[in-house]
Structure formats: structure tokens, C-alpha cells
Amino acid sequence: MNGFRQAMVVFRKEVVDGLRDRRSVATACFGPLFFVISLGAVITFVGKQAAELTRTPLSLPVVGMERAPDLMTFLRENNVKPHEETGSPAELIRAGDAKVVLAVPEDYGAALRAGRAAPIQLISDRSHTTAMAAVGRVEGLLAQYSARLGALRLLARGVDAGIAQAVALERVDLSTPQSRSGELLNMVPLILVLSLFMGGMGVATDSTAGERERGSLEPLLINPVPRWAFVIGKLAATACFSGGAMLACLGGLALLPRVVSFTDFGGVFALPFGTTILLLLPLMVTAGAMQMVVASFAKTFKEAQTTLGFLNLVPAVPGMFMVFLPLVPKMWMFLVPMLSEEVLISRLVRGESVEPRYLALAMLSSLAWAAVAVAATVRLYRSERVLFGATS
């Protein structure tokens, strides 16, 4: 009897067994969805903050409002609603009643009229990151107001206002809507790869270390089946669960723009699903093979689970890096499994093009690593150590 057909028999059994394992299925489905929901929540939150920065009227407590009526008018014209405040600004901030308070000293008016720099205080707590948007907005408006008054003073003395401006700065922004949202969307490759690993973990452990711990491995091995066929069948089942988790994650991501508003967030979400699935196909096998080799060498089910918990963190490392500092793709990166996929997906999700040769290189290198892991597992299954766990 043909080994491939036997591998199919093993595959079918492991899939049925895995699907009946509620914990495996729950991890494969809800794990990725949890990631997507978290991402959606962050996008909504960031979008709200951005909206707050410009569009929503900012309510600004001011101490001594009547001392600067012209400034108040200017603020009102710019979507800020100043209101008189009598208490101590520091108390207001500490109590959390206000994020930023403007204080106009008594000598403000006198200094302004005398043509000196008029003192004004902006009170905030810079350790509160949520206050920064409001602080930045008021600071920007005060700078504009100051520049406007300054220009008027120069004009009154018959001087061209332009003379005070030595350098004319013109900001040219090359970012596209996609790339502006890039920082957050760098989480997409991370959650895709993490989903892939989480999805296969249950079957990978249960069909190897679990099989040994239950005592069902010895009877299984007495069947007239070449050992590689067991490994291939179990690996295929693991890869299927990885793939299921990946599809759950992609499905969640596809629904994301319908549920979460990207307009406030200032970016678009442009993940090409076909290319992404193609890119991740070999990684499903690599992830499964790596999990199987670890779980097969573990002495107990518990040891396998613990070690795989660590293994799952490995793909997270390059992913975490990219969330904060996007990597410039370099040739060597395409030889490292997971890193290559994450780098490419981080480009795809920002709507940047990816050269087919890079895509091919990433897929081939992942497959090569899968082959190494499969060879190690088959070697173990061929030796009698498989009965006891290789570490014993």
C-alpha cells in the first residue's frame, strides 16, 4: 500500500480528531478574531484622537479671559471654546477636570499695548499622553496669533513682515493615505503570523506529544506504514488548522473597514488578499513543521505546550520591531522565515508594490526551512527514541 494514501488516512483522522477538540478549534478561530478586534479598537481610538485634534471644538478653561478679548475671538474663530475659570489651574489639571488651562496674567494687556512680549501661561501635565493633542492644538494657535500680531506691528512701522522670516519652510509630504496609516497597520503582518502559529498549535501538540502521552503512539507505529507517512499526515492536518486560523484572521481584516471608520484614522486599508494567502501558504507548512519538531522532541504534553508557547513568541519579535520602526527590506531578510513574510505583508498592507522575485524568494526560503524541520521529525520518528521522547 502506497505511503501517500496512508498519509491521507492519518491526515483525515487528525483533522476529524482536531475538529472535535473544542479548545483547538476555539484557539484557531477566536484567537485571530481577538487580534483583529484589538486592532479595530486601536484604529478607532487613534482616529478619534486625530479628529479631536482638528474638528471637534476644544473646550478651554481660561483664567482671566477678560484680559485678552482679541485672543479669545481668535480662538473662537479656530474652533476653540474658551470659558472663564476662577479656580487654580494646577488643581484643575490634577483633579482631571481639564487637560490644558490657559492663564492670562494681569500685565498681559499693558505689555501688549507697550509693544513688549505679552506673558501668557499654558498649564498642562505632559506625562498624560491624552493631553498632548489638546496642548499641541492650543500651542499652534497661540504661535499663529503671535505671528499675526508681530506682522501687524512690523507693518505699522513700515517694515515688510517678510523680513522677519529668514527661511520659508515648505513641507512636501510624500506619504500616501495608505502609508500614513502604516504605523498601525504594521500590526497586520504580526497578527497574521501569530494567528497561523496559534491555529496549528493544538493539533501539532495533540498529534505528537499528546499521542505519546496517551499511549496511542506505540499501537499506531506497529501499523505497516512508513514513518514519514505519519509525519506528513500529521503535518498536513496541522497546516490545515494554521490555514483555518489565517483565513479567520483575513476574514476579520476584510470586515474591518466595514465596521471601523478609517476616515478619521487618515489612512486606507489595502491588503491584497490573494497575494497575502499565496505568500503565507508555505509558511503554514513551516509553522506546522516547526511546531511538530518541537512537540515531537518534548518528553511530555505539558513540556510541548510550554515550549510551543515560547516558539509562538519568535514570530512576534520581528513583528513587534516593525510596529515601531518599519524595516527597509534587505536581501537577507527574505531568507529568514516569518521575518520575510512580515516585511512583505507590511509593504502590501500599505499599498506598496512587491516584486514577484521577492515574493518567490520568501516562499522558497520558508519551504526550505519547512523541509529541514520535516526531515528532523521524520528522523526522530524512524528512531526508537520517539516512544520515550527525545530528551529522555
Partner 1 sequence: MIEVQDLHKSFGEVSALRGVSFSARDGEITGLLGPNGAGKTTTLRILNTVLSADRGRTLVDGVDAAKEPLAVRARLGALPHAHGLYPRLTTREHIRYFGELHGLRGAELTRRTDEMLELLEMRDVADRRAEGFSQGQQLRVAIARALVHGPRNVVLDEPTAGLDVPGTRTMRRVIGRLKEEGRCVLFSSHVMQEVTALCDRVVVIARGTVVADGTLDELRRRTGHDNMEDAFEAVIGSGEGLQ
> Which stretches of the chain bind partner 1, using CB under 8 A?
1, 6, 9-10, 13, 16-17, 20-21, 214-226, 384, 387
Helix (H) or strand (E) holding 60: strand 58-63
Bridge partners of 58, per DSSP, are: 80
Smallest distance, partner 1 to C-beta of residue 133, A:
53
Is the separation of the CB atoms in 391 and 298 below 8 Å?
yes
Cβ closer to partner 1: 6 or 291? 6
CB of 226 to partner 1, least distance (A): 7
Q: Is residue 119 a contact partner of residue 131, using CB atoms and an 8 Å limit?
A: no
Closest CB to partner 1 among residues 371, 387:
387
Least distance in angstroms from the C-beta of 211 to partner 1: 8
To 5 degrees, how large is the angle CA 234–CA 297–CA 372?
65
CB of 21 vs partner 1, minimal distance in Å: 6
User: Looking at beta carbons only, is 185 or 217 nearer to partner 1?
Assistant: 217
Please, which residue, 219 or 274, has the CB nearer to partner 1? 219
Please say which residue, 5 or 148, places its beta carbon nearer to partner 1. Answer: 5
Residue whose CB is less far from partner 1, 148 or 382: 382
CB of 310 to partner 1, least distance (A): 27
Burial class for 277, CB neighbours closer than 10 Å (0-12, 13-18, 19+): middle
Minimum CB separation of residue 216 from partner 1 in Å reads 4
- Give 62-123 as a DSSP string: EESGGG-HHHHHHHHHTTEEEEE--S-HHHHHHTTS-SEEEE--TTHHHHHHTTSPPP-EEE
- Compare residues 218 and 355 and give the one whose CB is closer to partner 1: 218
Residue closest to 122 by CA, chosen among 75, 90, 80, 86: 90
Altogether, the residues listed in the chain come to a count of: 392
Burial class (CB in 10 A: 0-12, 13-18, 19+), 163: exposed
DSSP 8-state symbol, 14: H
- Running DSSP on this structure, what letter comes out for residue 312? T
Nearest distance from C-beta of residue 28 to partner 1, angstroms: 16
Q: Do the bridges between strand 100-103 and strand 121-124 make them parallel or antiparallel, or are there none, so unpaired?
A: antiparallel
